[in-house]
Amino acid sequence: MNRLKYFRLGLMAITIVMAMILPGEAGAKTLEQKVGQMIMVGITGFKVADDNPVVRDIVDYGIGGVVLLEDEAWPKETENSSDSSAWLREMTASLRNLPGGDRLLIAVSHEGGEFTTLKEGLGFNRSLAQGYLGENDNISLTMKSALDSAQYISDLGFNLNLAPLVNLGPAQSKNELHFQDRFFSQDPDVVLNHAWEVINAYRVFRVLTAVKYFPGIPEELHGSYKGFPDISKSWDDRELSVFQELIQDPGCDLVMIGHYYNTHLDPEWPASLSERTINGVLRQKLGFDKVVISDDMLSEAMQDNYSLDKILERAVLAGVDMIMFGNSLVHEPDIAKRSIQTIVNLVDQGRISKSRIDESYERIAELKSRLRPPVESDCSFCLE
């Protein structure tokens, strides 16, 4: 444990020095530019043509990030092909070469095993599931697996991984999708030890990570309130202790909020729209003051229950800094433009304060001050 302690202390020192050397973007920003940084949109497919709406979103509207989510067109594009990795490298490179692309968050969700956008069946490298790593409870194995994945993700051109998942696992697998394989363990200590290894490995390869899902995830894939999975019956407040430990570590870059309903924390709103959950628990009680990112706001439950105006107002007031629109389940090519204009209108109407926008912008700017070009590393300094 001493080795892990000193490794994390070393990463803290590196983070402080990097933030001092590389400040945020220079020059005064307009309200529209600040709000643009709060928006992340999904990319579909492996190629980004000049007429792709995402290009417009980056160049004209200055969005803060993009995320690669699974798309129904993928099997057709990758069938009997080993070119998936090459296509992704080309795509991420083209994004970085756009005006403002050098400060763009390029995200993917890669937990491992079947719980990843980059599935082996689509031509990507094989990876180990978190459940397998937790069951073996071999820190060296987890470190090696995480380093392999981190190097691969970095090599593909991503600088943010929406992982690891740090929720406590169910007692047993409850469905045919081997849901249990997604969790490190039921034991908070096991979850913490393996999550730290994953986070540290990604920092070696200059990839940011987002621990998820705060404040919890359902043990079963059924049971809902207004279409949102209801975790009230299965939720264990030990979940909070895991997040509390992780967010105090300098390696914790972002926290992702799930669209889950939990009456223990808020009897009215799902977590991603809940001021009680985000500002009240995550920020005030647990002390997290970095970037909070939402799950996909184009989810079916969100669209069925709330207008875009209400989603954005509630999310921003609740404490969300980056609002994700995946464009996977539902594709809305103009969602970035509409979202930016909606938030600006909410500010003009006095429903959201300018200081609240400044808070998110400053958190995002600090996060991006730590972005670096991908590098090759053998990690010789962190292995015994």
Asked whether 271 and 215 are in contact (CB, 8 A), the reply is yes
Q: 330 is written with which tokens?
A: 């539902």
- Taking only the tens place, the pLDDT of each residue in 188-235 is 999 999 999 999 999 999 999 999 999 998 766 545 677 888 888 888
How much is the pLDDT for 51?
A: 84
Alpha helices in the chain (DSSP H): 2-21, 31-36, 53-59, 74-78, 84-96, 130-136, 139-155, 188-204, 238-247, 275, 300-305, 308-318, 335-348, 354-368
How much is the pLDDT for 24?
A: 41
Residues in the chain with pLDDT values less than 70:
1-27, 45, 71-82, 171-179, 219-224, 373-384
Asked whether 258 and 210 are in contact (CB, 8 A), the reply is no
- Domains, the chain, ordered by start: 2-15+32-368 (3.20.20.300)
The DSSP code sequence of 7-46 is HHHHHHHHHHHHHHHS-S--S---HHHHHHTTEEEEE-SS
Contacts 24+ apart (CB under 8 A), 351-356: 351/313, 352/313, 352/316, 352/317, 354/31, 356/316, 356/317
How much is the pLDDT for 50?
A: 82
How much is the pLDDT for 77?
A: 57
Could you tell me the pTM of the whole model?
Answer: 0.88
Please tell me the distance from the alpha carbon of residue 136 to that of residue 138, in angstroms, as a whole number: 5
How much is the pLDDT for 379?
A: 46
Asked whether 43 and 67 are in contact (CB, 8 A), the reply is yes
- Taking only the tens place, the pLDDT of each residue in 128-151 is 999 999 999 999 999 999 999 999
Residue tagged 């006095």 (tokens): 350
How much is the pLDDT for 220?
A: 61
